[in-house]
Structure 1
Amino acid sequence: MEITQILDKIYILNPGYVLRNDITRAVLATRDNSSYHSLDVNDVSTILHPAFAMLLSFFNGSSTLKETLNEVSSYFNISFDGALKTVSKLIDNKSGVAVEYDGHFFYLPQNVLIERKVDRTENYRPEDFEIETEVDLEHERLNKPIYASFLVSNRCVTDCIYCYADKRRIYDCTIPFPRILELIDEAKTLGIISFDIQGGELFLYKDWDKLLKALYAAGYSVYISTKYPLSEWEIDRLKATGTKEIQVSLDSIYGNDLMTNLRVGPGYRDRILKSIEALDKAGIRIKIKGVVTGPIFNYSRIEEYVNYFDKFTGVEVVELTAPSHSLYKTAKEFSNYRLREEQLDSLLELAEKEKNRHHFELRTDIPSREGYLSKEEKQKSFYARSSCSGNMSSFMILPDGNVTYCEETYFNPNLMLGNILESSIMDVWSSERARNLFYLPKSIFPNDSPCSSCKEFEDCRYSKGICWVDVMAAYGEDKWLYPTPDCPYAPVPLNDIKVW
C-alpha cells in the first residue's frame, strides 16, 4: 500500500465493529447486524487499551486520512509519522494483527479501518474511553456484558427428535412485559450490542409483536428462527413490527420426513410451505435451515429440497446441517438420528455440487472431519479453541427471570447467575455469584476431575473458559466440573457427542 496515494481518502472505523468502554479498559466487538457482513468483519470480542479506542474514535468519516492523522498526533502528542506507523497496520488489513501499547499486546481483527463507502451509525469521542481507575488488560471476563439473550419460552409447535432444548418442564414467560421493556432500556444504556430472542417458539408468546417492536426501537437487530406455520394475518402483523428477515427451520419438503424428524401431524407440511410462500410474497427476506438426520437421509430428496426454493426470490440462504448430540437426548437416541460418515460425505458433496446453481447462497455448517489427533495435536487444537462467551461477555434471561450462561444450559441450578426480577442486569452481572462462577477455585473440583490437579487450570478456565454444555453432554449433568472432552487431559467421554 502506497501511503501517499491514500492520504487524501477518507477512512472510517469499520461499521461492522463497535467500541465500548468497559470501566477498566475498552472492548472492540462485532456489530450484531447481518447487513454489515459484506464489510468482511471477523466475529470478535477483544479487549483494548483505552488509548487505542481513543485513537480509533477519530476515524468517524469527517476528515481525510491526512487530517485525521494530524488530529491523532496532536491529541496524543506524537509525531505525524508515529501516528501513521500505528494506523497503517489497520488500514484494509486482510488479517488480524497484534498491536503493542504501553508494554501490553492485544489483538485487532481484519479490516479495522476501511475507506468510507457507507456511513457509521454510531461515532465516538476520545473522552468516551476515559477511565478513572487502573487499566486492566489481564482479566478476560468483561466488567459489563455486551451480549444478551432472552428465552421467551421453551414451548414449541414441534417435537424434534434431535431437540437441543431442556423440555423436561415447560416454561412460559412469567416476566411482566413492563419489566421486559425496562431490561431492554437498561441493555441499551449499558451498551449491550445484541439482544437476541431464543426459543422455544417466539410466535407462541402472546406479546411477540410488542417485544419485536421494542427491540427494533432500541436499535437491536433481532434474529428470528421459527418452525411455526405463520398465517397471512400473522405475517402482516410481523411485517408491521419492522421485521425484514426470518429463518424458517424446515428439514424436508416431504410430509413423512417432517412427521419423522419433527413429530408433527400430516397437515404441517402444507401449512409451513404456504407460510414460506406468504413470507416471500410479503417481501420478508428468508433463510431456510434444514437438519438432515439419518432416518430421513435421501440424496435425491435433498436435491429436490434445494431446488424447491429456486422459485422464491426472497430466499437468500439455504443451509444444510447435521445433528449433533443434544445434552437432553440419550446416547441411544443420538445413535438413531445421527448421520453416518458416508451420509455426511454425500451431504457435503451435494452442497459443493449445487452451491453455484441457485440465486440463493447454499451452505453447510458441518464441522471438518478431525480424524485421529495425537496428544500434542489435541493440545494445540484445544489451546486454539474459541472462547466461551457465557458469563464472560454474555448472559441469557430465562422465562422465569433467572439468568444463566447460554441458550443450552437452560435451567441447570449450578449455572444460575441471578434473577432479573430481583436485580438489575448490572447487579446480576457484577454479583458475587456470577463472578465466583467464572472464577471457580480449583479446590471445589472433585478428585475424579482432571481439573482438580491441572497445572494449567487458571490459564484454561479464567481465559477462554470451557463449554459447559459439551462437558455435561459428554460426561453427564452430575459431572459438570469435568474438563471439556476436547481437553488433552480429559477422560474418555461416556457419550460420543461429535457430528462425525
Structure 2
Amino acid sequence: MNSCGTCSALTDSYGRTVRSLRMSITNRCNFDCIYCHNEGDHGSKGEMSVENIANIVDAASRLGVNKLKISGGEPLIRNDLEDILSSLPELRDVSLTTNASMLKGRAQSLKDSGLDRVNVSLDTLDPEIYRTITNCSKGAFEKVLDGIHDAVDAGLTPVKLNMVLLKDINDADMDSMLEFTSQYKGDVILQLIELMDFKDVAQYRVNADEVEKKLLKNATDVKVRHMHHRKKYIINGAEVEFVRPVDNTEFCANCNRLRVTADGKLKPCLLTNDDLVDVSNASLDELPSLLQLAVSKRVPFYRNK
C-alpha cells in the first residue's frame, strides 16, 4: 500500500473520506448508447498522458486513496492502457469499466500489467436489442461475449456485468441475464443499474421499488454491502446487486469517490460541473493541495435538507 500516514486524509465537510478514484482516460467510444452520459464530461477533447495519470494516482494514494476505477468513453481504445496500468503505484484494487468489444485477446496483457478486474456493460443477451441500445456495428455483440469469457479466463474476476434497466426495452431480460451469470460459478456478478436521467430518457425509467421486490421474492439469501448499504441478492446461485443512485440520499451520504475527467479535471460530484479543479498541468508537488481543494468542494447532490 502506497500511503502516507503523515498526510491528512481526503475528508470533506460532510465527514466523507475519499478512498477511491474514478478516472476517465478518454472520451472516445466505438458505441453510442442511448443512455450514455459520458461520465458527466461533455465536450472535452484532450486526453491525459501516462505520466499525468500516474502522478494523479500517486498523489491520491499518498493521501489514502486505495482504489482506482478506469473508465471512458471506452478505455480500451487507448493503445497505451497497459503502460498506464504499469505506471500506477500499488493499490488495493484497480478495475476497468468497458463495453468489452475489444477485450478479447487483450485481457491477459491487462491482467499482467496490474489490472485486477473488469466491469462490462451488457444490457441484454438479445443481439438485436443490444444493437438498438448501443448503436454498435454488426458482430460487436459476439465480440463482447468473447471478451467476457477471456476476462474470466485471465482472472479479471469477479467480472461485473452492468445492466442498465430500460423500461419496455430490456426489463424483461433479467431472468436470462441471471441464468447467463450463474454459469460462471461466482466469477461473474450481475449489477442491475437504475437509469440516471442525463438525457431525455425518462420514458425508459423502470419502477425501482418493483424491481427490488422481485429480487427479494426470488432470492435465497440477501447480504448487505458496507458501501452504500447496497443489497446483494443470491438467486439460483447467481449474485445480483441493484444499484440505485437516483434521488438516493444514502448513496450520496456514503460516497467515497472522486472523479477525474479525461482532460484532467478533478470532479467532486458526477452530477455537477461548476466545481471542477484543473490538474492537467499540475506537478506532483502541486497535486496534493489540488486534491484537497477538490474534496473541500464535495457536497452530497441528494441530501436531507
Please classify the TM superposition score into its range, dividing by the shorter chain length.
0.7 to 0.9
Match of 2:187 in 1: 315
2:289 is aligned, of 415, 427, 452, to: 427
Counterpart Cα distance in 2 of 1:261 and 1:168: 20
| Alpha-carbon contact 2:20-2:67 (below 8 Å) kept | yes
Query: Is 1:185 aligned with 2:52?
Result: no
Residues 310-356 of structure 1: CA deviation (Å, up to 9, x unaligned): 32236341122331312xx1xxx2233222x3x86257415641554
Which of 327, 347, 365 does residue 243 from structure 2 map onto?
A: 365
Give the secondary-structure state (helix, strand or coil) at the position aligned to 2:86: helix
Q: Deviation per CA, 1:427-463: give whole Å up to 9, x if none.
A: 32456xx59x83xxxxxxxxxxxxxxxxxxxxxxxxx
2-structure distance, mates of 1:147, 1:356: 27
Aligned partners of 1:260 and 1:295 also within 8 Å: no
Contact 2:166/2:204 (8 A) holds in 1: yes
1:273 Cα deviation (Å)?
1.2
How far does residue 280 in structure 1 lie from its aligned partner after superposition? 2.5
Structure 1: how far apart are the matches of 2:168 and 2:153?
Answer: 33
Report how far residue 203 of structure 1 moved.
Answer: 1.0
Unmatched segments (≥5 aa) in structure 1: 1-17, 30-44, 47-138, 371-380, 439-463, 471-483, 488-500
2:43 counterpart residue number = 169
1:465 and 2:294 are equivalent in the alignment? no
Give yes or no for contact 1:396–1:406 (8 Å, CA) kept in 2: yes
Pairwise CA distance, 1:307: 0.9
Alignment partners' CA distance in 1, 2:4 and 2:290: 23
What is residue 415 of structure 1 aligned with on the other side? Answer: 275
Contact 1:157 1:228 in 2 (8 A): no
Give the superposition deviation at 1:19: 9.6
Q: Distance in 1 between matches of 2:60 and 2:147?
A: 33
Query: Could you say if the C-alpha distance between residues 316 and 388 of structure 1 is closer, same or farther in structure 2, counting changes exceeding 3 Å?
Result: closer
Match status 1:334 vs 2:201: yes
Match of 1:399 among 256, 262, 266: 262
Pair 1:420–1:221, CA change in 2 (3 A): same
Aligned partner letter, 1:359:
G
Q: Which has the larger radius of gyration?
A: 1
The alignment status of 1:201 with 2:64, answered yes or no, reads no
Aligned partners of 2:105 and 2:150 also within 8 Å: no
Alignment length (residue pairs): 287
- Distance in 1 of aligned mates of 2:291 and 2:234: 46
Cα distance in 2, alignment partners of residues 309 and 182 from structure 1: 37
Whole-angstrom distance in 2 between the partners of 1:189 and 1:385: 26
SS at match of 1:248: strand
- Offset of residue 425 of structure 1: 1.3
Q: CA deviation at 1:208?
A: 1.0
Instruction: Tell me if structure 2 keeps the 8 A contact 1:161–1:337.
Output: no
After superposition, the Cα gap between the structure-2 partners of 1:430 and 1:465, relative to the gap in structure 1 and judged at 3 Å, is closer
Note closer, same or farther for the CA distance 1:252–1:225 as it changes in structure 2 (3 Å cut): same
Determine what percentage of the aligned residue pairs are the same residue.
Answer: 19
For residue 206 of structure 1, report the CA deviation from its aligned partner.
Answer: 2.4
Tell me, in whole angstroms, the C-alpha distance in 2 between the residues paired with 1:264 and 1:184: 32
Cα separation, 1, equivalents of 2:82 and 2:201: 36
Given that 2:60 and 2:288 are in contact with CA atoms closer than 8 Å, whether structure 1 keeps it comes out as: no
- Distance in 2, Cα, partners of 1:185 & 1:168: 26
Greater relative contact order structure (CA < 8 Å, 6+ sep): 2
Could you give the per-residue CA deviations for residues 372-401 of structure 1, whole angstroms, max 9, x where no partner exists?
xxxxxxxxx97x884486xxx764332222
The answer as to whether partners of 2:4 and 2:62 remain within 8 angstroms in 1 is: no
Deviation of 1:426 after TM superposition, in Å, equals 2.1
Matched with 1:97 is none
Is contact 1:155-1:172 (8 Å) kept?
Answer: no
Verify the 8 A CA contact 1:388 1:466 in the aligned structure 2: no
- Look up the equivalent residue of 1:425 and give its one-letter code: L
Partner of 2:230: none
TM-score by length of 1: 0.49
For 1:78-101, what per-residue CA distance to the aligned partner results, in whole angstroms no more than 9, with x for missing partners? xxxxxxxxxxxxxxxxxxxxxxxx
The residue identity in structure 2 corresponding to 1:397 is: V
2:218 to 323, 328, 353: 353
Q: Are the structure 2 counterparts of residues 388 and 415 from structure 1 closer, same or farther at C-alpha, using a change threshold of 3 Å?
A: farther
Matching residue's letter, 2:287: I
1:325 maps to which of 183, 197, 201: 197
Contact 2:194 2:245 in 1 (8 A): no
**Structure 1's 357 and 399: CA in aligned 2 closer, same or farther, altered over 3 A?**
closer
Secondary structure class of the residue paired with 1:279? helix
2:101 maps to 229
Does the Cα contact within 8 Å between 2:97 and 2:118 map onto a contact in 1?
yes
Runs (4+) off by over 6 Å: none
Structure 2 counterpart of 1:271, one-letter code: K
TM-score where L is the length of structure 2:
0.76
SS in structure 2 at match of 1:150: strand
SS at match of 1:294: coil
Shift in CA distance, 199/312, structure 1 to aligned 2, threshold 3 Å:
same
Q: Secondary structure at the match of 1:222?
A: strand
Asked if the contact 1:151–1:407 (Cα under 8 Å) also holds between the matched residues in 2, the reply is no
CA contact 2:266–2:291 (8 Å) conserved in 1: no
Q: Deviations over 1:18-39 (max 9, x none)?
A: 995565xxx6x9xxxxxxxxxx
